[in-house]
Amino acid sequence: MPNIKSAKKRVRLAERWTALNRANRSKVRTAMKRVLGATDPAEADASLREAVRLLDRAAASRLYHPNRAARYKSRLARHVAGLES
């Protein structure tokens, strides 16, 4: 347990950011699962747009590395394109 005031504050902030990051990561994963679970191409396309929006936001805030987000977006787009053909 920290004794210095600034260290105590850093612990509080770390707990807050950990909770926010966990929630945002969960939103992204759920959106990606919706894309992969969609059977209707129109539904998959709408889900893909939402997932891309969340992935871009996660990459901008460095929750995910930008290349990782790009890789996920590419794979999801390929999946949706396969549904449409």
The reply to whether the predicted model has a pTM over 0.75 is yes
Per-residue confidence (pLDDT) for residue 85, from 0 to 100: 73
Nearest to 27 by CA among 60, 63, 78, 67: 63
Interval 16-65: pLDDT, tens: 999 999 999 999 999 999 999 999 999 999 999 999 999 999 999 999 99
Phi-psi region of 2 (alpha: psi -120 to 50; beta: other; left: phi over 0): beta
Q: Is the pLDDT of residue 83 over 80?
A: yes
- Among 3.40.50.1110, 1.20.58.110, 3.40.50.720, 3.90.1150.10, what is the CATH number of 5-84? 1.20.58.110
Listed by start position, the domains of the chain span 5-84
